[in-house]
Copies of this chain bind each other. A is one copy, B any other.
Amino acid sequence: MTKLANSFDTALRERASRVVPGGMWGHQHAAKLPEGYPQFFSRADGCRVWDVDGRPYLDFMCSWGPNMLGHHHPEVEEAAQRQARLGDCMNGPAEAMVELAELLVDTVAHADWAQFQKNGSDATTTCVTIARAATGRRKLLAARGAYHGAVPWCSPSLIGVTAEDRAHILLYDYNDPESLRAAAEEAGDDLAGVIVSAFRHDLGRDQELPTAAFAQAAREICDAKGAALIMDEVRAGFRLNLAGSWEHLGIRPDLAAWSKAIANGYPLAAVTGREWLRKAASQIFVTGSFWCGAVPMAAGVATLTVLRRDGVVEHLAAMGQSLRDGLAELARRHGLGLRQTGPAQMPMILFEDDADFRKGELFCRTALAEGVYFHPRHNMFLCAAHGEAEIAEALAAADIGLAAVAEHSRVAA
């Protein structure tokens, strides 16, 4: 598929290039995607999105995570609209804030309390601030290559960032207990916290589920040092286990940062924490003009209520496994090596012998032309609107995409 020169997407990109630096910025910049991917979208419904030229896609990015129950989920929309008719951003919160905090405390195993923000970065930064306030210490251990937000202390880019922004960050390697212990040793008696992702989901490499040894080491180090174990659930939260992404390992964090899926696309983030951090959480000063907006809170209550009632996590895992099994079988048939890693409900599809992602890009470009929106380098997301029919539809497009990769490999050989 080639981009039509006279498409509305092209026209919008041209307009944007005049009034937005680089035409777009951040993780949704289409320049980071293969040719043919649209930059602008006109509408969304369930697990489908339409670009501004009216082309529909069966979507496996789910807004990069926020779309959890499907766009326009009737119960979420009804709750949001009911609250919107009353009031959204007022002089203080509405009852929905208390309901949502109660629901989180009841749902998340480690949570004795909750606080709300807007961005995932707000939530991770708040966790670090609380850990420092509670311990009176400064050092934070973070995994090399992990994404915890796009603010100076953790941005993946160092452009415009000073060395001091990261003065107290010590790096370890995910799933490497020894490197974690070495970093803790280096922090000495100045260790405020250890931040861990729910699983390893770095850009452009195989995902890794946490090992029991790593999770235990993180917990033990924090217990031994009186530091806070901070779980970054921004990306994975509510897709693996509503009670917490390390529950299957028997490891609970002291603080967790949530966002993305918490309100099915309405802008919201949350920090949950254990009792010993409550006082520090009440002493720090963090706030934002829209943090108590009642509509996203009401959407969050509805989202969590549906998640608890409908077994959405199990559905996502089953559909993700269907997609994974189907792709593995298709790849075998086409004689292609495919690496599918991490939790099935957050698929990562990488090709063997594809350091420059050319195979992945050809696969995605071809699938996109067939109406299925995959990502060649970033983990993807399933939502509740993905059913067996949608997985079959995705596999039919993937079959054509894999055939294109196989054909290209034959020609190149």
* Distance, CA A173 to CA B273, complexed state (A): 39
| In the complex, chain B residues whose CB is within 8 Å of the CB of A30 | 92
* Distance, CA A26 to CA B91, complexed state (A): 12
CB within 8 A of A132: which of B18, B41, B162?
A: B162
| A interface residue count range (under 10 / 10 to 19 / 20 to 34 / 35 or more) | 35 or more
| In the complex, chain B residues whose CB is within 8 Å of the CB of A289 | 63-66, 119-120, 234, 259-260, 267
User: Contact at B26–A105, with CB atoms within 8 Å?
Assistant: no
* Distance, CA A59 to CA B89, complexed state (A): 13
Q: Does A287 reach chain B (CB closer than 8 Å)?
A: yes
Identify which of residues 265-303 in chain A touch chain B, using a CB-to-CB cut-off of 8 Å.
265-267, 273, 278-294, 296
Identify which of residues 84-124 in chain A touch chain B, using a CB-to-CB cut-off of 8 Å.
86-95, 97-98, 101-102, 104-105, 113-115, 118-122
User: Contact at A373–B91, with CB atoms within 8 Å?
Assistant: yes
* Distance, CA A44 to CA B93, complexed state (A): 12
Q: Does A250 reach chain B (CB closer than 8 Å)?
A: no
Which one of A148-156, A216-224, A332-340 is at the interface? A148-156
Q: Does A188 reach chain B (CB closer than 8 Å)?
A: no
Q: Does A379 reach chain B (CB closer than 8 Å)?
A: no
* A-B contacts, 15 listed (Cβ < 8 Å): A19-B114, A20-B101, A22-B282, A28-B287, A40-B93, A41-B93, A41-B294, A44-B88, A88-B266, A119-B290, A151-B151, A155-B286, A156-B285, A160-B283, A164-B167
Partner-B contacts on A (CB < 8 A): 12, 15-16, 18-22, 24-28, 30, 38-45, 49-50, 52, 59, 61, 63-67, 71, 86-95, 97-98, 101-102, 104-105, 113-115, 118-122, 125, 128-133, 138, 150-153, 155-157, 159-162, 164-165, 167-168, 234, 259-260, 265-267, 273, 278-294, 296, 373
